[in-house]
Amino acid sequence: REVARFHFPRQEGRERLCLADYFRPVDSGDVDVIGLQVVTVGDAATRRFEALQAHGEYAEAFYVHGLAVEAAEATAEWLHRRIRAELGLSPGQGKRYSWGYGACPDLEDHEQLFRILPAREALGMDLTSAFQLLPEQSTAAIVVHHPEAKYYVVRSDAAGGAAGSQAPNA
């Protein structure tokens, strides 16, 4: 039974890639696996950042912010490696795609993810009206295990540059 539907646009031109291509169709009769993850360092980092800012401790505030962002990213990478290990995949197989970046630029799908994973209930996370993750020092991703998965950009902005770049997480 379908519990959610994500929207992955197809790349215009180039290879015409789409994340959906890395999964088997429902009517194939084969069961496919999808990895979904959401991690956060919690709102204590945001509160600490704001308190330091309020006291004029700008350098310390930005160190705290940077450490919190890197801690969230490191936790996401650790979880990605654990997913690989549990699926019996080689260390380099599969990619982690975060919403708002090249292959899946639409942040609205965070709402679908929050319907599947208990981000609000278990982690105290929320979404802004623009579907950004709260607390800011959080990440969410779909882990694609397909051996041919690679990073790419779906859309370009008006100036011809990438609308977002996918972090090179292996």
Q: CA 76 to CA 133: how far, in whole Å?
A: 14
> Model-level pTM?
0.84
Residue 102 tokens, joined: 């090249």
Q: State yes or no: pLDDT of 33 exceeds 60.
A: yes
DSSP class of 22 = G
Maximum distance among all Cα pairs of the chain, rounded to whole angstroms? 60
Q: Could you report the per-residue pLDDT of 40-89, keeping only the tens digit for each?
A: 999 999 999 999 999 999 999 999 999 999 999 999 999 999 999 998 99
- Residue 36 pairs in a beta bridge with 142
Q: Could you report the per-residue pLDDT of 77-86, keeping only the tens digit for each?
A: 999 999 999 9
